[in-house]
Chains A and B, each alone.
Chain A
Amino acid sequence: MTVEEALATVRDPELDRPITELGFVAAIRTEGSRVRVELRLPTYFCAPNFAWLMVADARDAVAAVPGVTAVEVVLLEHFVSAEINAGVAAVSDFAATFTGDTERGLDPDLAELRTTFERKAHVAAQERLARALTAAGAPGDRLPAMSLAEAAGLVPDAAAAVARRRERLGLRSPHALCGDDGMPFGADQLPGWLRFARTVRVSVDGNAGFCRGLLETRYALARPS
């Protein structure tokens, strides 16, 4: 695995897309076995907790690349760049960095935040799957009882996308569509749930588009045609 491939596994938790695809990786500088990665975000005030997660994830991902002996990941031009860069480099945690609290260890709140957004990503992916199934001719009354395996036979890409989100969540469910607990929806529940899931999907996709636009404006990047 290369450094670039490792960074492609790091996702913006909110936008549910790889940081490489979002244009957040400004530079990768390699000197022998030492690697420095520079990250940039769409605005100076992007949420610091998400920024922290991306910087920390990038460090962990690059550190796992064979042959890399030292990693430095720095966040550029952000209102708490200095705090985040120093905190991540010291393998501290988010709360400790911002409160001066020296007690180290897992950051349960940050882990919960990540899970919240992974659940949203799962909901949005399932909405896309339901939409793809309908477009492929699956009757609406088949959806509640459909298995993920059957869905994969009809629309492999959309089903694989759902499977990937479940893997990240550690959620095992044989159903094409399920709640956060893995249980399927009843025929009477599903339409209402799908309606809300659509709002989640519109929101996630919309934010990704907006953030990409702001990054292009901030760094005067060429817009993809």
Chain B
Amino acid sequence: MYSKDGQSYYVVDGHTHFWDGSPANQINRYGEGFIKCFYDYHSNLSPEEYKWSLEEFERYPEERMIRDLFDVGHDDVAILQSTYLTDWYVNGFNTTEQNGEMAQRHPGRFVVNGRFDPRDGEAGLEKLERLHERWQLKGVKVYTAEWKGDSKGWKLSDPWAYRYLEKCQELGIRNIHVHKGPTVYPMNRDAFDVADVDDAATAFPELRFIVEHVGLPRLEDFCWIATQEPNVYGGLAVAMPFIHSRPRYFAQIIGELLYWLDENRLLFGSDYAIWQPKWLIEKFVDFQIPEDLQSEYGVLTADIKKKILGLNAAALYDLDVPEQFRVAAAPGDSGPTIGASPEPLAART
């Protein structure tokens, strides 16, 4: 919860990790390269006073995470996204079991998301069922660039991916967080291409596809599919920290997103421990589109910020938001919605 200028914000941090990227857990140079790459993201976009050393960043204690998210970080609830990467890390980078075990010690604070990998075939379908039984999953995170033996990635439109999405639908796991990352598969195509999300979103209208880091570096492709698929959402992890180092660029990103989607389909995420929610939330609440860009992008109202910071994710995960944090259902000042909308427009006016 965060309050400022008479407004109170219920915060759902849509993207957090409890990882182990330490040298002891690294299998190979890819594991080392991966955590170092994250660390450069952290160093490049964090304010000076929030920067950690590489050692601190590789592995952090539970107490620190709890403090950074909830005690000082304003998060009410945080979604733990599982990232296995077992070809690179001995015990995985952060598995559902590791996340779930930690979450159990802090009731009401975390939502534990599972994962699947369509290359696990039939056995993986059963494993997903067991994960669901154990953790009552409402969401999964999939990482299409993950390596598995000779395979260097997969697509959501692969036939086996459809089998898993059918299974999610059957189990009531409705929130599919999709993380695109650089890979060497599909070999010569654009690794960040989000076209497969478009296919899957059309084929599974009851599921919601939350494209993490709003498709960056393919913002335009993401916007394009999101206008056409009402069940495609944008996770703002990675986009959000530009608010500090490149505020004009951040204004353009958020302006573009509000234009093509609307404020009901964007979710805040810190991507902890890459960035810390405290400064992201404080700066976002203080943020306004610069005056010279307002004719193109409009302004951010308190209601828009409330939806992005927590209310939208709360709706996807059936979280009970206390009365005082709610807003009227009507959209704010983001201008006419160009694309599809999660509810019929008539219901929102």
Which residues does A use to contact B, with CB under 8 Å?
14, 42-49, 79-80, 94-95, 98-99, 107, 109-110, 112-113, 116, 120, 195-196, 198-200, 202-203, 205-207, 209-210, 213-214, 216-218
Contacts and interface: CB of A to CB of B under 8 A. Distances in A.
B65 interface: no
Contacts of B259: 195
Contacts of B217: 14, 203, 206-207, 210
Chain B: interface size category: 35 or more
A6 B260 CA distance: 41
Contacts of A199: 219-220, 223, 256, 260
B126 interface: no
A209 B246 contact: yes
Contacts of A110: 188
B36 interface: yes
Interface of B: 29-30, 33-34, 36-37, 40-41, 43-45, 181-182, 184, 187-192, 216-220, 223-224, 242, 245-246, 249, 252-253, 256, 259-260, 296
Contacts of B45: 213
Nearest to A15: B217
A195 B336 CA distance: 14
Contacts, number: 97
10 contacts: A45-B37, A49-B190, A49-B191, A80-B184, A94-B187, A107-B188, A109-B189, A199-B219, A213-B45, A213-B245
A95 B34 contact: no
Contacts of B296: 198
A107 B188 CA distance: 9
A208 to B, nearest CB: 10
A202 B256 contact: yes
Given A199-B220, A213-B44, A45 B182 contact: yes
Nearest to A108: B188
A217 B43 contact: yes
Nearest to A109: B188
B29 A79 contact: yes
B37 A203 contact: no
B12 to A, nearest CB: 26
Q: Which of A44, A94, A195, A217 lies at the interface centre, i.e. has the most chain B CB atoms within 10 A of its CB? A: A44
B205 to A, nearest CB: 25
Contacts of A47: 182, 190-192
B40 A45 contact: no
Contacts of A195: 259
Contact of A43 (B29, B37, B190): B37
A44 B36 contact: yes
Nearest to B252: A202
Given A47-B191, A202-B256, A207-B217, A98 B184 contact: yes
B40 A217 contact: yes
B188 A94 contact: yes
Q: Which of B187, B188, B219, B246 has the most CB of A within 10 A?
A: B188
A113 B184 contact: no
A205 to B, nearest CB: 8
B33 A206 contact: no
B192 A203 contact: no
Contact of B188 (A95, A198, A206): A95
A120 B189 CA distance: 15
A218 B187 CA distance: 26
Contacts of B192: 47
A82 to B, nearest CB: 11
A45 B34 contact: yes
A198 to B, nearest CB: 8
